[in-house]
Structure 1
């Protein structure tokens, strides 16, 4: 149970909104950057990371909607919508990683992709930590859960970055889809937790 007084709660709510709007803005810009990088490098991984940014935009929108209101019903609906986002992310990663490995697909090098995913990983980890702290202070399971979506976004950025760097430096094109399988497991675990009611 939260022991925040009304003033502290309002401060935390404002912080929650600020974190979500920052995530939203970053990912909107990211879709444009990733589209340019993915097309120039013919990179399935970068195109897929753009899809992940769309899921993150959806999750942030859900949390902004939930923070604007109150009630258990709204929280349950918001958590389910985030769970759907995780499900889509896990399915996408599973299909993309399998397709890349099966077709022996070799993307070109992408300096823009490397730069963007490196900065994005750092930004997402910082935002995820802020959401975890703020969600705990507000006793808000939706904000805490969406913080885990942001964490997955950061992990995916790091995985894509690792794949791009290994491809650029050592020609190890298969590193990225292998990292994708690790994230499939993580996302699937979150889906199970959300839909079993254990947040």
Structure 2
């Protein structure tokens, strides 16, 4: 498959991710507000980060020859840092106030569907990114995979709360978001530095 076809496939994967998350962020935040669920609120914010990351990747892929890789990776890294700060603050507030989340059937159903969809999209981005040798698409593919992992963790917390009344399982599930958020922020920022070194080396090579 030639580069043009791969770029189109990469863009299609990003548009599908955007569409799913735009719908999802509205549904999840409404469910989080109704159920007072930290895990759902965190996942809703993660969906906003995923939307932002997808927009960044579309911007980079549509100008793949304009040296946008470094800035794109840095923006994704900053988005993850923002996510971690919010989740930690919300987690501490919930544990200190002892807020007990209610069961959200709609939230459980959507998170379960999101888990499957994000796994499929992450696989497609990884394959396409490897074929394109595009680090931005590969990094955003990892964002999508993290989204799937988070959906699984949040789903577990919601089910434990719904079935056994373990209210603390809901906020603790958000710790998974914190872990992956820190890891992916470090990775994205590191890759942005590497991309910067590569672009700085270009003039010397040409000379």
User: Same-fold call, TM > 0.5?
Assistant: yes
Aligned residue in 1 for 2:106 = 112
Q: Secondary structure at the match of 2:67?
A: helix
- Kindly report which structure 2 residues correspond to 1:10-89, keeping only aligned pairs within 5 A, or say none: 10-71=4-65, 73-89=67-83
User: Within 5 Å, which residues of 2 pair with 1:1-199?
Assistant: 8-71=2-65, 73-197=67-191
Displacement over 4 Å in runs of 4+: none
Helix, strand or coil: the match of 1:196? helix
| 1: CA distance, partners of 2:66 / 2:46 | 28
SS of the residue corresponding to residue 172 of structure 1 reads coil
Distance of 1:43 and 1:186 partners within structure 2: 20
- The structure whose Rg is larger is 2
CA distance in 1, matches of 2:152, 2:75: 25
RMSD across aligned C-alpha pairs, in angstroms?
Answer: 1.7
Alpha-carbon separation, structure 2, partners of 1:154 and 1:179: 13
Worse-superposed segment, 77-86 or 189-198: 189-198
After superposition, give the CA deviation of every residue in 1:95-152 in whole Å (9 maximum; x if it has no partner): 2222222222111111001000000111111111111111111000000000111111
CA-CA distance at 1:94 after TM superposition: 1.8
CA drift of 1:54 comes to 1.1
Distance 1:152 1:97 in 2: 19
Q: Could you say what secondary structure the match of 1:73 adopts?
A: coil
Between the aligned partners of 1:72 and 1:10, the Cα distance in structure 2 is 16
For these two proteins, the number of residue pairs brought into alignment is 193
Q: Report the Cα distance in structure 2 between the residues aligned to 1:40 and 1:192, rounded to whole angstroms.
A: 34
Q: Which runs of 5+ in 1 are unaligned?
A: 1-6
Q: TM-score, normalised by structure 1?
A: 0.90
Q: How far apart, CA to CA, are the structure 2 residues paired with 1:103 and 1:188?
A: 25
Specify the alignment match of 1:3 in structure 2.
Answer: none
Per-residue deviation, residues 46-94 of structure 1 (Å, max 9, x unmatched): 2232211111110000000000012473000100011111111222222
